[in-house]
């Protein structure tokens, strides 16, 4: 179906393109209004979407007709006669596009597109990424170049926001957006008599909210899940780390019978989390809300659709429990909007300071450095909170985003269940309360027979279909999850030639699948090379064990044409492993450092070297 839609969009674009080229005497007939700006985003975790919405608000204050849409929701055929588009695109995984721009990405990279396809387009691209990843901001960079290749006119250089910057991505985003409006208004000035609305002008709320009287609806709201979501029953929630280990890691088995789901090794299980009851209760008390009060939502803006995840009517409790991310770190617009409600001089001054360029360092120290949550910020600004109209809650607080977990099982071994490996995120900062990962702690708290809202999405790994091809897998910690899936897939068919380099701290504390893998080793279906970093004086990591097995690794790569995979934390491990592979090629293959690096690049290009990491 996706392929058919892609072909149809290609045909539509080419048809409209030909029509425009034939209308040389009136080529502007199909051009959108000059005061229209489209802000299109590719967002995986919500950051790019929030930045796009910020640009959309700025556009409205400058009297532009504005649309803010995910890229895959935008009619591609319209792009050839669009005058002004701002693209905000995150880079995910190992240089992958976000899920909500994958169709667009495949289409825009087609070599058959004419080089003057976008000759009417003025554009700007803001990339969002994390410089700890090997392919930092590659989507933003490639998109900028590709639009120019198709005839588009860039109005400023590509912006590259970096999560690793000491002030976060705003250090790049703020000046980039400031420059954007200078360039936009020089090309498309406001009409005579129009002036820009003040920065602190409060736009109408995203949705119109109407409370219901108790007699208007006595029915309890029922969640309306995503169309492909399944309420899977938790069958097993087993801790796989020792009780005295610092980290609680669980192997969770979910029943997916009657779901119609099918999956392959490398796919991911998406989980839609809920806020914990304690946080919800604190939020209710902070804003002095009636949790049982019912409301309905209506559109305030025809271009902003209502949230499909919420029932109509909905209770305030249901909204807080299942929809709003009340424990997220608030972004700058949160403070900007809060300041418009504040009547307390000191609180208003502080809120406004957090929205200025000069105040970014203070805001970062207050929020990001200590991981202060939205709820905790609201509790700090006690004089302002009572002044916030509840209909602005959707503008203040973003929705809870689903989390992705690599599937750690094979459907060939168990058709009716799916396993995931979940590490409960818990750590301390200077704040009194420990910081908790919303989804991981919610999952690990689920008792058997409770449910998880889940669905399946394709992962980025492409495993070889040919059973004769050896596979080298490097997966420290929970990074081993997708490899367990592939190992089960192969061994269930008595296929060997699988080599896994697994890393953990201690053999007796966090060696997740030791017994299972040792049995497979005895059957000569698996070769395991563990690295225990804390079981001896000198720390031993997976890259060290790779180097110890350099003759084997080189033979597998060069002679037997093995595939090489890395999964796990994106901090230093992927780079350290790649350095080890380059060294192996250099020493065992008798090549120069430069040639060894080119060899690894070739493996990447041919999909024989793949990386899937997360921060």
What residues are designated binding site? 43-48, 90-93, 128-137, 163, 371, 403-406, 437-440, 478, 533-534, 539-543, 614
Residues of the binding site for FAD: 371, 403-406, 437-440, 614
Residue 454: count of CB within 10 angstroms of its CB: 23
Residue 95: count of CB within 10 angstroms of its CB: 19
Backbone angles phi, psi at 544, to 5 degrees: -70, -40
For residue 344, give Cα distances in angstroms to 3, 340, 341, 385. 56, 11, 9, 10
For residue 180, give Cα distances in angstroms to 85, 157, 176. 11, 10, 6
CA atoms within 13 A on the CB side of 521: 12
The pairing of strands 435-436 and 207-211 is unpaired
Q: b or e along 430-440 (b: 16 or more beta carbons within 10 Å of the residue's beta carbon)?
A: eeeeebbbbbb
Q: Decide: helix, strand or coil at residue 461.
A: coil
Residues of the binding site for FMN: 43-48, 90-93, 128-137, 163
Residues of the binding site for NADP(+): 478, 533-534, 539-543
For residue 61, give Cα distances in angstroms to 17, 159, 191. 33, 22, 13
**Reading across the β-sheet that carries 417-423, which strands appear in turn?**
403-406, 268-271, 451-457, 230-239, 249-255, 417-423
Q: Which DSSP category does 435 fall into?
A: E
Return the closest-CA partner of residue 427 out of 413, 417, 441.
Answer: 441
Residue 356: count of CB within 10 angstroms of its CB: 15
DSSP string of 179-224, one letter each residue: HHHHHHHHHSPPPTT--PPPTT--PPPSEEEEE--GGG--SPP---
Q: What are the residues whose beta carbons fall under 8 Å from the beta carbon of 192, sequence distance 6 or more? A: none
Q: Which DSSP category does 364 fall into?
A: I
Q: What are the residues whose beta carbons fall under 8 Å from the beta carbon of 90, sequence distance 6 or more? A: 42, 43, 44, 45, 47, 48, 98, 127, 128, 129, 139
């Amino acid at each position: 179906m996706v392929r058919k839609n892609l072909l149809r969009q290609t045909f539509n674009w080419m048809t409209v393109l030909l029509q425009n080229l034939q209308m040389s005497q009136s080529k502007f007939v199909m051009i959108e209004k000059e005061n229209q700006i489209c802000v299109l985003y590719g967002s995986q975790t919500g950051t790019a979407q929030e930045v796009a919405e910020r640009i959309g608000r700025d556009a409205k204050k400058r009297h532009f007709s504005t649309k803010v849409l995910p890229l895959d929701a935008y009619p591609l055929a319209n792009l050839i006669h669009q005058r002004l588009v701002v693209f905000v695109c995150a880079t995910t995984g190992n240089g992958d596009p976000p899920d909500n721009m994958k169709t667009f990405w495949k289409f825009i990279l087609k070599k058959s597109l004419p080089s003057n396809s976008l000759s009417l387009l003025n554009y700007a691209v803001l990339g969002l990424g994390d410089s700890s990843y090997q392919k930092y901001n590659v989507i933003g960079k490639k998109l900028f170049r590709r639009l120019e290749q198709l005839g588009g006119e860039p109005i400023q250089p590509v912006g590259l926001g970096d999560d690793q910057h000491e002030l976060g991505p705003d250090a790049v985003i703020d000046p980039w957006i400031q420059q954007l409006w200078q360039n936009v208004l020089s090309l498309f000035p406001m009409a005579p008599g129009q002036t820009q609305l003040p920065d602190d002008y409060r736009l109408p709320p995203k949705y119109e909210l109407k409370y219901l009287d108790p007699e208007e609806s006595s029915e309890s709201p029922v969640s309306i899940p995503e169309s492909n979501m399944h309420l899977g029953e938790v069958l097993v929630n087993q801790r796989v780390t020792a009780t005295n280990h610092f980290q609680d890691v669980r192997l969770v088995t979910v029943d997916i019978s009657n779901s119609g789901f099918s999956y392959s090794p490398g796919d991911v299980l998406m989980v839609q989390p809920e806020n914990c009851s304690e946080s919800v209760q604190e939020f209710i008390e902070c804003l002095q809300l009636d949790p049982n009060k019912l409301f309905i939502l209506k559109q305030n803006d025809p271009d902003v659709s209502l949230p499909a995840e919420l029932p109509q009517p909905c209770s305030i409790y249901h909204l807080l429990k299942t929809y709003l991310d009340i424990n997220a770190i608030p972004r700058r617009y949160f403070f900007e909007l809060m300041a418009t409600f504040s009547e307390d001089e000191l609180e208003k001054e502080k809120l406004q300071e957090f929205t200025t360029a000069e105040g970014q360092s203070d805001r970062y120290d207050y929020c990001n450095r200590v991981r202060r949550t939205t709820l905790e910020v609201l509790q700090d600004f006690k004089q302002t909170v009572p002044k916030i109209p509840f209909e602005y809650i959707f503008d203040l607080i973003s929705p809870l985003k689903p989390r992705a977990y690599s599937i750690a099982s094979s459907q060939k071994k168990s058709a009716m269940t799916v396993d995931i490996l979940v590490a409960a995120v818990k750590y301390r900062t200077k704040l009194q309360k420990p910081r908790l990962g919303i989804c991981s702690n919610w999952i690990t708290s689920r008792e058997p027979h409770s449910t998880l809202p889940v669905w399946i999405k394709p992962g980025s790994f492409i495993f070889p279909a040919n059973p004769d091809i050896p596979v080298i897998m490097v997966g420290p910690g929970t990074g081993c999850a997708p490899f367990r899936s592939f190992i089960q897939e192969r061994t269930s068919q008595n296929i060997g030639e699988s080599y896994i380099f697994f890393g953990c701290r201690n053999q007796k504390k966090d060696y997740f699948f030791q017994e299972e893998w040792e049995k497979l080793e005895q059957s000569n279906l698996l070769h395991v090379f563990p690295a225990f970093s804390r079981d001896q004086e000198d720390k031993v990591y997976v890259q060290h064990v790779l180097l110890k097995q350099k003759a084997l690794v080189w033979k597998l790569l060069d002679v037997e044409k093995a595939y090489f995979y890395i999964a796990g934390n994106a901090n230093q491990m992927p780079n350290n492993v790649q350095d080890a592979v380059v060294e192996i090629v250099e020493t065992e293959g008798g090549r120069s450092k430069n040639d060894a690096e080119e060899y690894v690049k070739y493996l990447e290009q041919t999909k024989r070297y793949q990386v899937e990491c997360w921060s």
